[in-house]
Chains A and B, each alone.
Chain A
């Protein structure tokens, strides 16, 4: 009996430590080979401009986050202070980031790697998933990203991309929540890191109404 309990607990802990929270309550369904799309930074005619609020270990920073798709595979990513001074200017071609300008205070390998990884999650437009899950609320696609995974949650009623979760095999690392009215442009984006105390909240600039 003791041996049975020991094995049972062992199995329980083994499974609980390996179980990924992201897929809890989801049902895996047969996967159809297809491509999914993140539409939120995909329109090269739009300037994507957001007010950014960043909270790092109880410290708060702000700025303006500007993203533009400059050709089929390339995005320009600029962050400025509220006064307009450039903090960071990067280019991403879908594989590699090029650093055009970064102020000394942010030009640290660790900081840049974290931010690049966040931007990658936001900007990757087409992804080929490797597994599909469903729940009453969402259709979820799992994509492979090196030794990590990205889970894309699409609302089952709206069809809008609501969330991307980056995970290891057993833990959620980063969650990106999108709020969108039309499924094409995200009004709000919340990036929350689980392994470091970092939250980035982006709120889209509202279009100025013409006074005439």
Chain B
């Protein structure tokens, strides 16, 4: 584990600006990911893998391919789900929590969520990465997530790891790899 120290105010503002610049120049992202669900009573974390596709301003698709096929497309008001051939839609229009989660996911993929008033953010650095830790102020969200951590490459300010820590300390960790930026992505990728 790399040793972490707090960023000073100058470092924080330079880091934020670098992330905002990077996210503004990012029109599309495709990336492989490995997801690990850690539960303290299990011998091994539960691993799933797949591909994530993002297209600005807010289209996101998570396609799990191992060990099962499961696609979710996030739209403004709906989750479009294809669960191994079984298609369904979930309305998120009326759910404040779901909207917030959707926003979190889009913004964490882009790496630009520092202006979010719903979180208290602290910034840390190590030789390998910069880290932003988000603690929800909203009590409802805090029942599900005690903190949300994003790890950024020091050089290109891209997110390479997302970690959602629950109040029980169990967590979900998503590690991105093989990231491709600004390739042409057709809107049909996000169709149901």
Shortest A44–chain B CB gap in Å is 10
By a CB distance below 8 angstroms, the chain B residues around A66 are 37, 39, 42, 46
Choose one: B44, B48, B164, B168; the contact of A82 (CB below 8 Å). Answer: B48
Question: In the bound complex, how far is the Cα of B182 from the Cα of A4, in angstroms?
Answer: 86
Query: Is A163 in the interface zone, CB < 8 Å from B?
Result: no
Instruction: State whether A68 touches B41 (Cβ < 8 A).
Output: yes
Question: In the bound complex, how far is the Cα of B64 from the Cα of A53, in angstroms?
Answer: 15
A44-67 CB contacts (< 8 Å) to partner B: 45-47, 49, 51, 53, 59-62, 64, 66
Question: In the bound complex, how far is the Cα of B164 from the Cα of A86, in angstroms?
Answer: 11
How many residue pairs, one in A and one in B, have C-beta atoms under 8 Å apart?
A: 70
Q: How many A residues are at the interface, by size bracket?
A: 20 to 34
From DSSP, what is the main secondary structure of chain A's interface residues? strand
Question: Given A53-B86, A59-B88, is A70 in contact with B172 using a C-beta cutoff of 8 Å?
Answer: no
Question: In the bound complex, how far is the Cα of B44 from the Cα of A59, in angstroms?
Answer: 32
Query: Is B100 in the interface zone, CB < 8 Å from A?
Result: no
By a CB distance below 8 angstroms, the chain B residues around A191 are none
Choose one: A49, A62, A101; the contact of B70 (CB below 8 Å). Answer: A62
Choose one: A46, A80, A208; the contact of B47 (CB below 8 Å). Answer: A208
B61-120 CB contacts (< 8 Å) to partner A: 62, 64, 66-68, 70, 72, 81, 83-84, 86, 88
Question: Given A84-B37, A84-B164, A85-B144, is A51 in contact with B67 using a C-beta cutoff of 8 Å?
Answer: yes
Q: Which residue of B lies closest to A101 (CB)?
A: B168
By a CB distance below 8 angstroms, the chain B residues around A83 are 35, 62, 72, 172
Query: Is A205 in the interface zone, CB < 8 Å from B?
Result: yes
Q: How many B residues are at the interface, by size bracket?
A: 20 to 34
Shortest A45–chain B CB gap in Å is 7
By a CB distance below 8 angstroms, the chain A residues around B44 are 47
Choose one: B37, B86, B88; the contact of A80 (CB below 8 Å). Answer: B37
Question: In the bound complex, how far is the Cα of B39 from the Cα of A206, in angstroms?
Answer: 19
Instruction: State whether B170 touches A47 (Cβ < 8 A).
Output: no
Shortest A91–chain B CB gap in Å is 10
Residue-wise interface mask of A (170-212) relative to B, using a CB-CB cutoff of 8 A (1 in contact, 0 not): 0000000000000000000000000000000001011010000
Choose one: B67, B164, B166; the contact of A206 (CB below 8 Å). Answer: B67
Instruction: State whether B170 touches A68 (Cβ < 8 A).
Output: no
Question: Given A53-B84, A62-B83, is A47 in contact with B172 using a C-beta cutoff of 8 Å?
Answer: no
Query: Is A78 in the interface zone, CB < 8 Å from B?
Result: yes
Question: Given A47-B42, A208-B66, is A85 in contact with B172 using a C-beta cutoff of 8 Å?
Answer: yes
Question: Given A45-B43, A60-B86, A62-B83, is A86 in contact with B170 using a C-beta cutoff of 8 Å?
Answer: yes
By a CB distance below 8 angstroms, the chain A residues around B62 are 83
Query: Is A116 in the interface zone, CB < 8 Å from B?
Result: no
Query: Is A76 in the interface zone, CB < 8 Å from B?
Result: yes
Q: Can you report 10 residue pairs joining A to B where beta carbons are below 8 Å apart?
A: A47-B43, A60-B88, A68-B41, A70-B41, A83-B35, A84-B37, A85-B172, A89-B168, A205-B68, A206-B67
Which A residues are closer than 8 A to B by beta carbons?
A: 45-47, 49, 51, 53, 59-62, 64, 66, 68, 70, 76, 78, 80, 82-86, 89, 100-101, 103, 203, 205-206, 208
13 new A-B contacts, CB < 8 A, other than A47-B42, A82-B72, are: A47-B44, A51-B84, A60-B81, A60-B83, A60-B86, A60-B88, A62-B86, A64-B46, A66-B42, A68-B41, A85-B164, A206-B67, A208-B66
Q: Kindly list the 5 A-B residue pairs having the minimum CB-CB distance in the complex, ordered from nearest.
A: A84-B172, A84-B37, A62-B83, A60-B88, A205-B67
Which B residues are closer than 8 A to A by beta carbons?
A: 35, 37, 39, 41-44, 46-48, 62, 64, 66-68, 70, 72, 81, 83-84, 86, 88, 144, 164, 166, 168, 170, 172
